[in-house]
Amino acid sequence: MLVKAACKRKVRSDGRPRPAPGPRLDFDNLPEDSFSLFRFDIDDVALIAERLGLPELVVTPNRDVAPRREALAIVLRRLAYPCALRHLRGLFGRSVGAISGIFTTTVELIQARWSDFLGGLDTDRILPQVPRFAAAIRRRGSPIRHIFAFIDGTLRPVCRCSPFLRSPSS
């Protein structure tokens, strides 16, 4: 009984996080068209994770652990094609809770390191360019004349509609 309880703990006796059991994403056996899964070639994900300054192991508050390449792959997959987290269980071999925690922790690490580059919309620079953007889209055959951007899931700050919302975004 004591051994069974020890195996269920997510922390080793020395305090280090215990890797979650089960199969993990096998980067070597992904389909050739892995670009459609992550919007990046899978070989580039490790380089991007390193350049973003992610730690070797991403550890969540619940002590789930993922190598930085896998953590970034979870974020990229989630952003490339938003879907229910349960649909990612088969690809990543992790529980919904673990995927959620790894996603959130990785995004928070990126935000903490790169917030100067990610903050706010640079309206002083962008607004004068809107007519040029709209003309470029019109030249490509758009039936609507005044399109200057596309909705792609990019989060932008918005006004707080309710005092109960902690982190509103578009």
Give the residue extent of every domain in the chain.
2-118, 125-170
Q: What pLDDT does residue 7 have?
A: 44
| pLDDT tens profile 7-32 | 455 556 666 665 554 447 777 777 77
Please name the residue ranges forming H helices in the chain: 2-8, 35-38, 42-51, 68-80, 89-92, 96-118, 123-126, 130-139
**Averaged pLDDT of the chain:** 76
Q: Global pTM?
A: 0.61
pLDDT band (50, 70, 90) for residue 71? very high
Residue 154 predicted with pLDDT over 60: no
Output the CA torsion 65→112→52→121 (10° steps): 130
Distance CA 40, CA 95 (A): 24
Output the CA torsion 22→110→52→12 (10° steps): -40
| pLDDT tens profile 122-131 | 777 878 888 8
pLDDT band (50, 70, 90) for residue 142? confident
Q: What pLDDT does residue 139 have?
A: 87
